[in-house]
Every structure is written in C-alpha cells, then in structure tokens.
Amino acid sequence: MEEVDIHSKINHKNAVKLLGYCIGESTLTMVSEYIPRGNLEDILHKVGYSITLDTILGIAIGCAEALSYMHSMHLSSDNLVCHGDIKPANILLDANLTAKVSDFGLSRLLSGGITQYTAYVKGSLDYVDPIHIQSGLLTPKSDVYSFGIVILELITRRRVKEGKFSLIEAFRKAYTKWSMLRELVDADIAKEGNMNALVEIGNLAMDCLTLNIDKRPKINDVAVRLQTLWNDLRRGRDSRHSAMLEKFSNVRMFTMEHLRQVTKGWSSRFHIYRNTVYKGTLDDNTAVVVYLTHFAKSDKEVVINTWMLQSQIVHKNIIKLLGCCLEADTPFFVYECPAKCSLSDILNGEEDFPLDLRVKIAVETADALEYLHSSAVGITAHDLVEPRNLLIDDNFMPKITSFSWVWRLAKQTGLPVNGIQIDNDEVLSKAQRDVYEFGILLLELFGRKKRYGETNLDIILQFTKAYEIDNSRMVMFHKNITVEGDITVLEEIGRLALKCAVSKAEERPKIPEVAQHLRMLIRRRWKVSMTQGATWIPAFHPKASFTFIQLP
C-alpha cells in the first residue's frame, strides 16, 4: 500500500496519474492513465527513429521538473518523495513525446526532507547511486545521480552498460575532448550548431554523477540549467533560420508538432526509407511525404538553396514541394505524394504495360524537362533523370522527383549558385547530361527488359548495332508493343533515344527539340490511325481513362 499512498499524493503533468486501485486477498491492482508511446528505453534503444536535440531537452526537462516537484513536496506537507528507481524504462512518453515519470514501487517518503538509511538496497543496480549501495544512504541526491545517467543515454543513445562497455566511464574520458565527444554522441544530434549545447549537457550530467554527494546539484537546479540550455538553443536556431524563412516565403511552414501529427507520431507504419522519409496525411486528407535532410555542415547552404529553387518550380509533371519545417536541427521538407509506384517498379513488373501508356510517360516527362531547361525557371538541370526517380500516379501521370541537387544557370557568369561557385558552362553540361539520361530512359521505357548485369552502355551499343543491321532492330523493343502498325513509331523513338545518348554532348539535341520530336511522332501516328478508320485515342488525350494495377 505504500506505493498507492505515495502515488496518490503526486499530481504533476510530468508524472503518470493514478486513477484508482483494487485490493484483493493477496493482490493489489493499480489503474493509471494510459501513455501511448511506451517507455524511453524502447524509444532510445529499440525503435530507432530520429529524435532531435529539442525533443531530447524537452524530455529531460519534463522528467527533471517531475522530480523537482516530488523533492519539494515537504514544503506543503511533512514528507518529500524520493523516487528511488529513475531509469529510461520508468519514463513514459505520450503521443507528443512529453515525459511522464512512472513506477513508484521503490519510492520512499522521507519525513521532513531528511535522509534515510536502509540495509536493503533495491532498484536497477546500473542506475543506483553508488553511495546508496555502499552505505544505504538514501536522499534526493540519489535520484539526481540516476537522472545523470538518463541524460547520458538521451544524448548518446547508448545503454549505461553493454558487456564491458561503461557509458559513464566512456563519457568521463570523452567529454573533455571535442572530437571524442562527437563520436560518442548520437549522430542524429551531433551537428555543429548543437555541439556547444551538448558540451554543457555533458557537464551537467557529470555534475549529477559526481561521487561527492554534497557537490551534486539539486534537481530543481538541474531543471533550470536544462531549461536555460533549451532556450539558448532555440534562440540561436531562430536567428539562423530567419534568413531561410524569407527564402521559403512561397511555401507552407510546418511545426514539428504538426509533422508528428501528420506522421502519427513518426509511426513505423508510415516509415518509407531508413529514418528519413515518412508518409503522412494533412488535415485536408492530402497525402504527403515528409523528408528529413541529412548533410554535412559544408553542404548546408547548398541544400537549403536547392530546396528554395525547387519551391519555385511549378509543373504538373514535377513533384511539388508543399512546405518545410525549420524548427529542428536539420530541415524537414513536405512533398505531395501522388505515387503508387515508380517507373522502375512498373518496368520490372510483369503487368501489361501498353504502348499508349509508355508514350504518355515519355511525352510528359520530356515536357517537364523542357520546362526545367527553359528560361521560365532559369535553365535548371535535374542531373538524375532515371526510372526510379519518376513517380507514377493513379492516372499514369509521371512526376519527376529526387531533387537532392538542382543546378540553375546564373544570370551572370561566375555567380554562386546553390551556395557554391559553379560556372554556367557546368550547368549547361549538366543539362546536356539530362538529355543523355532521358535517352537511356527512352531505351528502357520502350526496349526489352534489362538482363542481369547489363549496363546503360551495353544497351546503347546493342541498339546501335541493331539499327545498323536490317530487320534486326525490332528485337530490341519490348515484345508486347511490337505490333505491325507501331513499328515505324518505335523505330523513330529508338533513333531519337540514340541521338540523345551519343557520347559527345555537343552532338546531342536540346530537350525542347526532343519533346517536339516526340509530340510530332504521336500526331503522325494519330493521323495515320484516323485515315485508316481507327478509333485510337492517344494515352494523353483528355478522354482516355485507365485502371491502375497495384504492383507488389
């Protein structure tokens, strides 16, 4: 009953609420509020998704404030509460990652705020104050020691003991040297802008872990220091991001809290790729992809400017940047999510993929590249045109994605573009590479399936050889689309693809010429079909409709 007695006295936003209890003949059942995200130990060591330094400090502050409340209860009553078993497994997290201290089974009421001695030491020994183990002395400073270990686990995501590894000893050696500290701290938060704060957090943890109990800080002082660090971190980030906010004036700004809701608390069910890409749904049911960027300090301006450029690109066949969040250590970007799959998935699948749909994808992709290479967007090179970066929606509309790097022609030669020095000749060279990659894409889109181990160069050479030998080139096209009436169109597309993929960049056609040639071929085919009395409708005609087959 002592646990019920203690728990019933605690009423704090960062402590789990006791709702009731039931006493049986030999059992005690306690009913507490439900905390959906589970415990901190699982979040740190099992779940594996990224946690920002902001969130880490928020968790630490919440826990420290709960302990501060417990340690000061004697000011309004005759007793204070010493938790006695502070560790990540006893810190629960709600849907917003707010910390809730739980499990008061080993808690003790210390009369009048004095210390207590016991001959029976209980708790998780890896987290228990060595002074308590050696002498039986139990004071509020015992919780401070345990909380110091929690701080270390928060910023390193390492367990306090793993085999022969001791986190406390490793940190004592590392935190005095910047490079060693950076290696020990969790890579997701070991960013240049965080290192000063991490050093201060490390200093605070070491103060909590000192074996001189009189020199340990009180938990309310720990909470104040953590809050100060959090405020300083936010102020520094706000000033750094003020310029970025101006760059993204034409897109929606999201808060971290909103993105948590969009991704259902960064749920693994919405996780797409590693710990950086999540699916989500906005309030208006718009499907989105949330992308967490990772980059070196030297690339930061390049990445920010890349997405700034993309925010200015508006085309129905180019993935749309909807917004971003600049609150975290690294930016989050939010995109529309139109895709059921990529073109690569379709080409590697076994489902029927008729010529009309292939033509539609080719023409609309060429239109998108023509737009990128036009003066409307300042001649922007994509530099990564390939099937896996072409998303296909329910209506088989292609959308170019993967704008990790976008290169724009400067208005004056020698101006920095994307935050780095790059001359216009190099941008034009990358635009010519887009033409080459589009030629390869055409060969993959209309050609036979790639054999295992085949390279792009192999395919180019085989197509070139086939065109030099009469009546052999048709074997290079996909067998399901080589019907008699379409041979002429396929041969023309093959020739166009080979022109795009020639080795000498200056001999390649410009993307507008390629797009115009494709449109001309389709118009010609349409006219032939009409003169023959056919009712053929091109795939991109507004009357056309298709049923999408979900690929595995």
User: What was the pLDDT predicted at 202?
Assistant: 92
C-alpha pair distances (Å), 444 with each of 387, 451, 495, 533: 8, 11, 14, 32
Residues carrying CATH 3.30.200.20, the chain: 252-336
Tokens representing 156 are 């390193």
C-alpha pair distances (Å), 70 with each of 6, 66, 295, 324: 10, 6, 42, 40
pLDDT for residue 532 is more than 80 = no
pLDDT for residue 99 is more than 90 = yes
CA distance 322 to 288: 9
User: What was the pLDDT predicted at 514?
Assistant: 92
The larger pLDDT score, comparing residue 174 to residue 152, is at: 152
pLDDT band of 306, cuts 50, 70, 90: low
What's the fold here for domain 252-336? Phosphorylase Kinase; domain 1 (3.30.200)
pLDDT band of 489, cuts 50, 70, 90: confident
User: What was the pLDDT predicted at 418?
Assistant: 41
The larger pLDDT score, comparing residue 317 to residue 533, is at: 317
- Whether 486 is catalytic is no
CATH of 343-531, one of 3.40.1010.10, 1.10.510.10, 2.60.40.3080, 1.20.1250.20: 1.10.510.10
pLDDT band of 428, cuts 50, 70, 90: low
Over the stretch 138-149, which tens digit does the pLDDT of each residue have? 889 999 999 999
pLDDT band of 63, cuts 50, 70, 90: very high
What's the fold here for domain 2-237? Transferase(Phosphotransferase); domain 1 (1.10.510)
Q: Average of pLDDT values for 449-458?
A: 72
C-alpha pair distances (Å), 27 with each of 1, 30, 123: 11, 10, 21
Q: Average of pLDDT values for 237-254?
A: 63
Over the stretch 350-375, which tens digit does the pLDDT of each residue have? 888 888 888 899 999 999 999 888 86
User: What was the pLDDT predicted at 321?
Assistant: 85
The larger pLDDT score, comparing residue 436 to residue 425, is at: 436
Q: State how beta strands 398-400 and 287-292 pair.
A: unpaired
User: What was the pLDDT predicted at 146?
Assistant: 96
Could you say which of 54, 85, 143, 329 is catalytic?
A: 85
Over the stretch 390-405, which tens digit does the pLDDT of each residue have? 888 888 899 988 765 5
pLDDT for residue 249 is more than 70 = no
User: What was the pLDDT predicted at 456?
Assistant: 74
Residues carrying CATH 1.10.510.10, the chain: 2-237, 343-531
pLDDT for residue 450 is more than 90 = no
The larger pLDDT score, comparing residue 547 to residue 253, is at: 253
Instruction: Say if residues 351 and 550 touch (Cβ distance below 8 Å).
Output: no
User: What was the pLDDT predicted at 536?
Assistant: 44
Instruction: Say if residues 291 and 297 touch (Cβ distance below 8 Å).
Output: no
Q: What is the mean pLDDT of the chain?
A: 78
